[in-house]
């Protein structure tokens, strides 16, 4: 692989970006598949047996009409699915078509939208946009319920161009007015989408130079085929998976795949995950973990099976309240994840995780079992094991030296040649994991 790094190195990188990290057991299976085989499995979730997750979810008895239960349900899916890219793309579409239950005020409608994004996670963008436009939660969120003949509401028409397809500067105010007329009568009932013929404007319209008796279906078809849409989506997806500052050449490569594949998102995402730029030092540890990536990734890496009920609120305090994005643009991501208050929440989470009993935190029953099982016969080996596990050993030599010094001392801080008892070993391992989880590198995906 690139830069002389091993398959294991890049598969770890892949699974942080195309998923939420990986357990040691999962990593072993993916390494056996190789990088290309792992990409193929991730991109074809329909070929993966995920019934164990579905059966486990049934046993949890989540209430899909209660928003807090719905958040817990989604975190559970992200943590235990065998189809991580499917969930990662569901999260992408949630941020792209940012819809908040604060306004929708209907948890079951939000559940339906979430299932819609999962169903079309790697599908055709034409189908995704068409179904999102008819989605009850979206109709309520962007006020298309009030979009009527003679009194068009422009909210959805504006956002479908500005945020979902073309991007700012690639349409006119007249295009928005005409598109709003095309979406008149697209409403929702408790039973789902409802086309109110009496409220639809059947007059002639012109959108992006296309004229006729256009309806919402026609506007969707016009928008998905625009070159500007291909570049807008390519840029956003590269930022999501690779790095925050994609160069024009890579955007062009990915945009071309969108156009030549007729909007096939599976092929677009494959092109990103196999692009030389994705498999480069530039992309490695180049993105700040979102709260979802930080929390779910920590659970997976440390093999924590018991998910506390307040994890949604933990993530919200870090800045990512699932199913309640801050505005129509969704979460800004990047450096916006890092602020004084949100960093404190990340450190509090690290402290919370490392006070968990080892019998609950991993497959090992004790600190001593970890040391014995992994053959960690020195402070240096102990530090290297956890640095490799948690941050791909990507720390300065000075940081490693300080961690070795920490492990090579007793509970009073006095240097010792070895760790003499179980109590001290337990405390040192917890402290070591906590220190690594608060390092700058641990905040990077």
pLDDT digits (tens, 9 = 90+) for 265-302: 999 999 999 999 999 999 999 999 999 999 999 999 98
Nearest 5°: the CA angle 71, 290, 257 is 100
Shared domain for 247 and 386, answered yes or no, is no
| Residue 392 placed within a domain | yes
Do 238 and 338 belong to one domain? no
Domain stop point among 212, 243, 273: 273
Residue 379 neighbours by CB under 8 Å, 6+ apart: 404, 407, 408, 419
Distances in whole angstroms, Cα of residue 18 to Cα of each of 156, 168, 273, 445? 30, 28, 8, 11
* Claim to verify: residue 331 and residue 374 sit in the same structural domain: yes
Length in residues, the chain: 445
Alpha helices in 44-190 (DSSP H): 51-60, 67-80, 84-96, 101-104, 107-119, 125-133, 136-141, 155-162, 173-182
- CA 392 to chain CA centroid, Å, is 20
Domain C-terminal end among 243, 273, 303: 273
The pTM score is 0.96
3-state helix, strand, coil in the chain (%, to 5): 60, 5, 35
Fill in the DSSP letter of residue 173: H
Q: Cα 239 from chain centroid?
A: 12
Instruction: Answer for the pair 156, 133: CB distance below 8 angstroms, yes or no.
Output: yes
Determine the structural domain holding residue 353 and report its residue range.
291-443
Asked if 312 and 240 sit in the same domain, the reply is: no
List C-alpha distances in Å: 10 to 33, 89, 197.
13, 20, 54
Task: Give the chain's domain count.
Answer: 2
Check residue 65 and give its pLDDT.
Answer: 97
- Report if residue 383 sits inside a domain: yes
- Which H or E element spans position 252? helix 248-260
Domain end point (choices 273, 307, 342): 273
In a domain, 327, yes or no: yes
Lowest-pLDDT range of 28-32, 212-216, 360-364, 391-395:
360-364
Q: Residues 336-378: pLDDT tens digits?
A: 999 999 999 999 999 998 887 665 555 555 777 777 778 888 8
């Amino acid at each position: 692989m690139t830069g002389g790094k091993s398959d294991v190195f890049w598969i770890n990188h892949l699974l942080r970006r195309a998923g939420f990290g990986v357990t040691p057991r999962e990593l072993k299976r993916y390494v056996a598949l190789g990088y290309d085989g792992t990409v193929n499995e991730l991109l074809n979730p329909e070929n993966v047996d995920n019934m164990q997750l579905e059966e486990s979810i049934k046993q949890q008895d989540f209430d899909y009409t209660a928003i807090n239960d719905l958040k817990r349900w989604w975190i559970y899916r992200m943590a235990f699915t065998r189809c991580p890219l499917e969930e990662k793309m569901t999260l992408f579409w949630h941020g792209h078509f940012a819809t908040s239950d604060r306004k929708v005020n209907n948890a079951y409608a939000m559940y339906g939208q979430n299932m819609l994004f999962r169903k079309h996670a790697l599908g055709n963008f034409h189908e995704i946009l068409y179904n999102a436009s008819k989605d009850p939660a979206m109709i309520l969120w962007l006020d298309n319920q009030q979009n009527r003949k003679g009194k068009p509401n422009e909210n959805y028409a504006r956002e479908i161009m500005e945020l979902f397809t073309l991007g700012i500067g690639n349409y006119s105010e007249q295009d928005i007015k005409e598109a709003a007329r095309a979406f008149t009568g697209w409403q929702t009932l408790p039973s789902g989408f409802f086309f109110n013929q009496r409220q639809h404007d059947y007059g002639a319209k012109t959108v992006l130079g296309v004229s006729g008796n256009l309806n919402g279906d026609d506007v969707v078809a016009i928008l998905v085929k625009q070159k500007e849409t291909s570049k807008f989506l390519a840029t956003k997806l590269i930022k999501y998976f690779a790095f925050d500052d994609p160069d024009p050449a890579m955007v062009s490569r990915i945009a071309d795949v969108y156009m030549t594949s007729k909007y096939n998102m599976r092929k677009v995402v494959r092109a990103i995950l196999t692009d030389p730029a994705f498999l480069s030092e530039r992309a490695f540890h180049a993105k700040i973990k979102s709260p979802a990536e930080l929390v779910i990734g920590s659970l997976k890496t440390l093999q924590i099976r018991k998910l506390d009920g307040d994890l949604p609120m933990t993530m919200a305090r870090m800045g990512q309240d699932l199913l309640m994005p801050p505005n129509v643009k969704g979460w800004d991501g990047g450096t916006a994840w890092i602020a004084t208050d949100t960093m404190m929440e990340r450190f509090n989470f690290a402290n919370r995780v490392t006070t968990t009993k080892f019998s609950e935190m991993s497959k090992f029953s004790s600190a001593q079992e970890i040391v014995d099982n992994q053959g960690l016969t020195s402070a240096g080996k102990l530090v290297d094991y956890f640095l490799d596990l948690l941050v791909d050993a990507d720390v300065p030599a000075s940081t490693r030296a300080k961690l070795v010094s920490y492990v090579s001392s007793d509970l009073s801080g006095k240097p010792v040649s070895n760790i003499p008892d179980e109590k001290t070993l337990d405390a040192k391992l917890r402290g070591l994991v906590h220190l690594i989880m608060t390092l700058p590198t641990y905040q990077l995906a």
